[in-house]
Amino acid sequence: MTVQQIQVRLFARARELANSDLISVQVQEGTTVARLRQALAEQVPELQPLSGQLLIAVDNAYAGEDQLLTETQEVACFPPVSGG
Amino acid sequence: MKTDSISITDQPIDYAAITEQVRSNECGAVVLFMGTVREMTAGKQTVALDYEAYPEMADQMLQQLVDEARDQWDVHAISIEHRVGHLTLGEISVAIAVSSAHRKEAFEAGRFLIDRLKEIVPIWKKENWADGTTEWVHPEIEAK
């Protein structure tokens, strides 16, 4: 299996916990959103306080857990929203 | 025909301009909703809120909200502006204006738009409490 680097944009408390607005996560090629979550938990333990609450967006839309990820997509990770 | 308008801004919101954008002689009703920075929350005193957006996705989600509202109500025009950055007490964080021929559609669509905005648009706020501490507001984590 080929290993991929997925760049993940972080926002709000996720950005502050990781102390970065862009992180690189190592995953197997053909990974899913659910597997990205596992990789995030293992490789970015700073996000643990938000564990189970983080939302994943792919190409500016909320992503389903089974959605496949590629290196060319824009991936973002953030806590529940609180605008307004 | 008026066009809808959505924007994320780091400048103070001109609510009169947002309202004028939707006004028309075809309409008998204009509803304006504004969200403003409140001083007291559950007994705690705020001095300011910091808003952060994921701007590209927020634009897409705001457009989705406009589409969803138009699917449900016969409205004439919709204008939504959300501010980001550091807002002090009383400042306007969001303004939503809706116009329609009769008041029912404008009220209902306006209520829907602010409720959905709070659910799906990727914008976050951080409380700056009077005691000097800060705290991100994440509704699903904390008790509502």
B71 band by pLDDT with thresholds 50, 70 and 90: very high
Measure the CA–CA gap between A71 and A4, rounded to whole angstroms.
Answer: 7
**Are A78 and B138 within 8 A, CB to CB?**
no
**Are A57 and B140 within 8 A, CB to CB?**
no
Do A24 and A7 contact (CB within 8 A), yes or no?
yes
Per residue in B1-17, pLDDT (tens digit) is 579 999 999 999 999 99
Give the percent of chain B with pLDDT over 90. Answer: 93
Residue B134, pLDDT > 90, answer: yes
Mean pLDDT score across all residues of chain A: 96
Residue A12, pLDDT > 60, answer: yes
- Which residue in B has a C-alpha nearest to residue A53's C-alpha? B141
B139 band by pLDDT with thresholds 50, 70 and 90: confident
A1 band by pLDDT with thresholds 50, 70 and 90: confident
Q: How far is A60 from chain B (nearest CA, A)?
A: 4
Residue B141, pLDDT > 70, answer: no
Per residue in A37-69, pLDDT (tens digit) is 999 999 999 999 998 999 999 999 999 999 999
Q: How far is A81 from chain B (nearest CA, A)?
A: 5
CA dihedral of residues B124, B83, A8, A47 (deg, nearest 10): -20
CA dihedral of residues B111, B80, B125, B47 (deg, nearest 10): -90
Give the percent of chain B with pLDDT over 70. Answer: 95
Chain B residues touching A57 at Cβ < 8 A: 54, 57, 122
Please tell me what DSSP assigns to residue B134. E
Probe site for chain B from A17, A54, A55, A81 (most B CB atoms < 10 A)? A81
Does CATH number 3.30.70.3290 belong to domain B5-133? no
Spell out the domain ranges in chain B.
5-133
**Are B57 and A61 within 8 A, CB to CB?**
yes
Show the tokens assigned to A81.
């929203």
Domain A3-78 CATH superfamily: Beta-grasp domain (3.10.20.30)
A71 band by pLDDT with thresholds 50, 70 and 90: confident
pLDDT of residue B140: 61
Measure the CA–CA gap between B18 and B13, rounded to whole angstroms.
Answer: 8
CB-nearest to A60 from B51, B57, B123 is: B57
pLDDT of residue B144: 34
Q: Does A14 touch chain B (CB under 8 A)?
A: no
Probe site for chain A from B137, B142, B144 (most A CB atoms < 10 A)? B137
Residue B94, pLDDT > 50, answer: yes
Spell out the domain ranges in chain A.
3-78
